[in-house]
Amino acid sequence: MNDLFGNIIDRAIERLRAFEPEEGYYLAYSGGKDSDVILDLTRRSGVKFDAHHSLTTCDPPELVRHVKTQPDVEIQRPKMTMWELIRHKKMMPCRTTRFCCNYQKETGGNGRVVMTGVRWQESNRRAQRKMVEQCYRNKTKRYLHPIIDWSESDVWTYIRTRKIKYCSLYDEGFKRLGCVLCPMNSNTQQHMERWPRLCRAWERACKAVYNQSGGKIANRNFESAEEYWQWWLSRDGKYGQNEMPLFFRD
């Protein structure tokens, strides 16, 4: 390990120690490579923490298997399955109406300092984040992202150097892990081939919403359940002008 790389590890561990809250961190563990690094750094740093993984019910089975190998990560189930949530909201989540993360993934850590593996390099949106920040939706929650300035290559170097186990999907060419058919992911074909059963569950939920609504969904009209499904798969669409309030509605 060269000095430069040693420095960024030391810096991340210093950050963990410097911001340690009395009650310890709430570590949000996704099962992805970045959270594997965070989990290892946190164990090494000696700070107090409890680690949690939120199941969404449309997680790749390989990811869930990997999460289950972590003895100190508590697995939490959502109040509603993704399919129940879609029926409850009467619409499919989409890129601009991503209500499911709120319900399925971001419910924990209230009143706590939540530690994550967010990195600037991951996306333009994440490049705007700060290392320590307040949750904009819940004022009792703060975030610490100790490896925010790491590159992807830093993450892999750390994983290889420390011989950390990671989810097998990376070795199959998956670059980022998340829910099967997540609306933020445009690689729908790859997901349909890899996880046909879960993709059929999305399709059933989509067509059930269409039938439930009579074709008018969040200010848009769809001619058929199939049209709604294909529109959702295309990842191009927005529901309409007034879709955003639905994001916050129960």
Question: Which parts of this chain interact with ligand SF4 (CB under 6 A)?
Answer: 56, 93, 98, 100-101, 104-105, 178-179, 182-184
Residues 102 and 95 sit within 8 Å (Cβ to Cβ): no
Partner residues linked to 51 by β-bridges:
27, 73
Nearer to ligand SF4, 146 or 178 (CB): 178
Nearer to ligand SF4, 182 or 218 (CB): 182
Closest CA to 29 of 18, 19, 41, 11: 41
CA distance 101 to 96: 12
Nearer to ligand SF4, 102 or 157 (CB): 102
Nearer to ligand SF4, 101 or 132 (CB): 101
CA distance 215 to 210: 5
Which stretch of DSSP H or E encloses residue 52?
Answer: strand 49-54
Nearer to ligand SF4, 113 or 182 (CB): 182
What's the min distance (Å) between Cβ of 215 and ligand SF4?
24
Nearer to ligand SF4, 162 or 176 (CB): 176
Q: What Cα–Cα distance (Å) separates residue 221 from each residue in 32, 99, 106, 194, 227? A: 37, 20, 31, 31, 10
What's the min distance (Å) between Cβ of 154 and ligand SF4?
24
What's the min distance (Å) between Cβ of 76 and ligand SF4?
13
What's the min distance (Å) between Cβ of 165 and ligand SF4?
22
What's the min distance (Å) between Cβ of 3 and ligand SF4?
37
Residues 234 and 92 sit within 8 Å (Cβ to Cβ): no
CA distance 218 to 208: 15
Nearer to ligand SF4, 68 or 98 (CB): 98
Residues 143 and 112 sit within 8 Å (Cβ to Cβ): no
CA distance 192 to 60: 12
What's the min distance (Å) between Cβ of 23 and ligand SF4?
27
What's the min distance (Å) between Cβ of 40 and ligand SF4?
23
Partner residues linked to 113 by β-bridges:
142
Side chain identity at 131, as an amino acid letter? M
